[in-house]
Structure 1
Amino acid sequence: MKKLPYILILFIGVTSCKKALEEKAYSNTYTKDFYSNAAEAEAAITAVYGNLYGMYNSGAPFFASDWSADQTFPRNVVGRNTLTQFSYDAQYSVQNSFGRSNESPMEIWKRAYIAIESANWVIAKVPATPMDPVRRDNIVGEAYFLRAFFHWTLTKNFGNIVVKINPTNAISNTVVGKSSIDDVYKQIFDDLTKAEQLLPDYSASFVKGRVSKQSALLLHAKAALYNEKWADALTSAKAVIDSKKYTLVPSFTDLFTAAKKDLARQEVLFDVELNNTTNPVRQSQIHYFYAPNGSSDYNKGGAGGIYVYSKFYNSFIAGDKRKDLLATSYTTSAGAVVQQANIDTRLATKDLVLMGKYKDPNSVGAYASNNIYLLRLADAYLIAAEAEGHQNGATAAAYSYINEVRKRAAIPDLTAGLTQQAFIDSTLQERSWEFYGEGDRWYDLTRTNKFLTVIPAAVNADYPVRTPAAKNKYFPIPQIEINANTLLEQNDDWK
């Protein structure tokens, strides 16, 4: 049977329900009658946020990128190792054959377009909903932000992608061609500008997990950085910093302590809200994979699926507090200490390092409560440092931004008098130390075209040779989508 693109599947599901039912279907936010009052508008935007959980539950946005980079690696099993070895194809044959498609770029494509569809309905319908006009504007602003975020997620993974800005209310708009990266970013910036105008400043009274004007500004800054719009990146990052609505959590360890995630909200501008309960389930494989196998002080149900390269572990400056969340031993729930060589006997390498950013000793089985951070204030400082470095060189202002992050890490200020390129390289290194395990590093390497030279040095006994090609800068668009969409073409490097 011929497969259908996700936006067409959504359309068919909606129209079929409308024919079968005459009553109002509250389970489906796409019905024409849904947006009739404030409660329904709130339900609609909540559904858009719910797509974040749908995407990050599998861990695919982090796994696809981090397993490709130089900080962490998956246990060498069929299906996961293709990302680390750059042996995947446009069909994602191995992932599909071994039931790992939900950990692959295929999942990113699918979930992002489902989320964009949800956001499009909010943007199209909520402005006409009779309700408090201020809150109505806020909801639309949130939808613009989320649509921008999911388009950005797609383009940094796949390059030229389909830009979808209208709800799928007719079969005629289910088959859509790709846009260039420049046009994708044009839409992203347009959406974020609207979000900045409609969203309120952050306050402690915000519903947990909801975005603010500063969230939109920071995503704008990061998207501009990826697009080498240095002035825009600097302006937006400075606006976040200068607003003083957020502050760095004094302790890096506290920032990633599950029991203190409410404290972390002073720094985190956008996240995926999770919990350690079984009803409702709001959990991600990310926590489960990073914890050692079995029940331990990391998680009561870890898989031992992801570890840290020893070279990255050894790269930290002495005394860097960020290294405190990396370890070469762990304690089982029975109280036994397991040393490095015995952390996971299933692997060829014994030089294993654990990562504790998703550690939750109070997990309920594998259900951990750590939120997944997608944007935080440290990023504003490092974006500002890099953008200033590109635009004006290693100025005093550029140093002040990077040193603010180093101060929290308890390491000395960056060496004074660096050349422009040396300073920019230092900001990339700082980003590596600051954001490891947060799905960020691969995109820093691809946007700067350093992945071809950096990745071959990130090896171990399980992955002794790693040789990415130029085409690996972006993942191939899933062939199943190209087969279903007559206007969709594979990226040139993957044809």
Structure 2
Amino acid sequence: MKSLKYYSLFFTAIFFLSSCNDVLEEIPRDRLTSELFYKTKSDALAAVNAIYQPIRTTACMGQFYNAQQDVMSDYSTGRGSYIPVGNYQGLDATNIGRTSGIWIQFYASINYANIAIQQIPNIQMNTTEQNALVAEARFMRAFCYYQLVRNWGAVPLRLEPTTSEKQIAAPRASVASVYNAIIEDLKAGETALPDAAPQAGRPNKLAATAMLADVYLTQEKWELARDKSEQVISSGKYALVEVSKADDF
């Protein structure tokens, strides 16, 4: 009888432990996760807004990227730690660090763009607004790759979110492949971006068209560059600023 009693207690314990498994499995609610986020229009907008943050920092277009480029121009002179770059002496240790940071920030923005492009279509929201946000993410991805390919040539081409360390060591894609991806993203922008940007600094359809003109010009596709430029000019929405004195710049 004693052994029967122990067996009964043993199987009862197993039953209760197994039935409690589902109850004990909790979804964390004290932090943001991909499973809990990307549910609303606000989440979609936040996903797109995140793309801008890395490249706006001092480590990228907030300072170092522009300085590294402009210091080599004929209207600028490098001072202090920028002297080697301004004098076309290459990158010293300081400027190698700055250039590395620029690379990192562009790829951070690209990864945020890839996440937005993947997740926003799953959100229940107005289709036109949804498509516009995806197109904005694609525009920003194209913008980042355009800076990368012109400065580094063949670079890793990431069109999906990076979610594992195993994905970090990606091979370099050909320059042609990178430009093809840029053009496809900008064409999507021409289709789905709004006619008027909802906020200053964010792209609209003609921003995608103007950038396509620049891309085609860089590729020496003269007729395509001319046609895209003509679309922007003939829209009548933009004009060159009249300059009569230095302060007008």
User: After TM superposition, is the score higher than 0.5?
Assistant: yes
Mapped to 2, the partners of 1:223 and 1:173 lie a distance apart of 28
Whether 1:213 aligns to 2:218 is: no
Match of 2:190 among 190, 193, 196: 196
Mapped to 2, the partners of 1:113 and 1:127 lie a distance apart of 22
SS in 1 for 2:77: strand
State how 1:275-290 maps to structure 2 within 5 Å. Answer: none
SS in 2 for 1:169: coil
SS in 2 for 1:34: coil
Shift of 1:56: 2.1
| Counterpart code for 1:23 | R
Query: Percent of counterpart pairs with the same letter?
Result: 27
Aligned to 2:151: 157
Match of 2:78 among 74, 81, 88: 74
Whether 1:22 aligns to 2:24 is: no
Shift of 1:49: 2.3
Larger helix share, 1 or 2 = 2
Mapped to 2, the partners of 1:108 and 1:94 lie a distance apart of 13
Whether 1:46 aligns to 2:46 is: no
Alignment TM-score, normalising by the size of structure 2: 0.81
What residue ranges of structure 2 are gaps of 5+ in the alignment?
Answer: 1-26
State how 1:13-412 maps to structure 2 within 5 Å. Answer: 22-23=28-29, 25-26=31-32, 31-54=34-57, 55-57=60-62, 59-75=63-79, 77=80, 79-89=81-91, 92-95=92-95, 101=97, 104-202=98-196, 206-249=198-241, 251-252=242-243, 321=244, 324-325=246-247
- Structure number, greater radius of gyration: 2
Identify which of structures 1 and 2 has the higher relative contact order when contacts are C-alpha pairs closer than 8 Å and 6+ apart: 1
Shift of 1:128: 1.3
Measured against aligned partners, the alpha-carbon deviations of 1:458-493 in whole angstroms (never above 9, x if no partner) come to xxxxxxxxxxxxxxxxxxxxxxxxxxxxxxxxxxxx
Larger strand share, 1 or 2 = 1
Q: Indicate how the Cα distance of structure 1 residues 185 and 53 shifts in structure 2: closer, same or farther if over 3 A, else same.
A: same
CA contact (8 A) 2:154 2:173 kept: yes
**What CA RMSD, in Å, does the superposition of the two structures yield over aligned residues?**
2.1
What residue ranges of structure 1 are gaps of 5+ in the alignment?
Answer: 1-20, 253-320, 326-355, 358-495
Q: Indicate how the Cα distance of structure 1 residues 24 and 32 shifts in structure 2: closer, same or farther if over 3 A, else same.
A: farther
Deviation beyond 6 Å, 4+ runs, structure 1:
none
Alignment TM-score, normalising by the size of structure 1: 0.42
Shift of 1:219: 0.6
Q: How many residues align?
A: 221
Shift of 1:211: 0.7
Mapped to 1, the partners of 2:176 and 2:30 lie a distance apart of 41
Mapped to 1, the partners of 2:239 and 2:169 lie a distance apart of 45
Shift of 1:24: 5.7
Measured against aligned partners, the alpha-carbon deviations of 1:251-302 in whole angstroms (never above 9, x if no partner) come to 44xxxxxxxxxxxxxxxxxxxxxxxxxxxxxxxxxxxxxxxxxxxxxxxxxx
SS in 2 for 1:74: coil
CA contact (8 A) 1:24 1:34 kept: no
